[in-house]
Amino acid sequence: MFAVLKTGGKEYRVAKGDVIRVEKLEGNVGDQVTLKDILMVSGDGQVHVGAPNLNNAIITGEIVREVKGKKVLTYKMKKRKNYRRLKGHRQTYTYLKVNDIAIS
């Protein structure tokens, strides 16, 4: 059984027991998380597709750890105007272990 879920503006294909890296979720390490933006569930020879979401599907998971990604630098410059700007950003990610995929 697998599902397609949407979180952080991205879509992920997950199955029970998978560990995925998503953008930061609220909670601490070890907390249980319930995700409700499920786009599709497939298993037992049946496919359930939402329009756009499935209202009767829930994915429960556990926060494994939180990490910061690599630094991304952006640089803006205008030639001959002595204008330069350098910005950096480090995105925080949450590793999520999928415990159960339920559809009623």
pLDDT of residue 44: 84
Q: What is the pLDDT of residue 7?
A: 95
Other CB atoms within a 10 A radius of the CB of residue 96 amount to 25
State residue 43's pLDDT score: 87
At residue 33, the pLDDT reads 96
CB-based contacts of 87, cutoff 8 Å, min separation 6: 73, 74, 75
Count CB-CB contacts under 10 A for residue 80.
5
pTM recorded for the entire structure? 0.85
For the chain, list residues with pLDDT below 70.
Answer: none
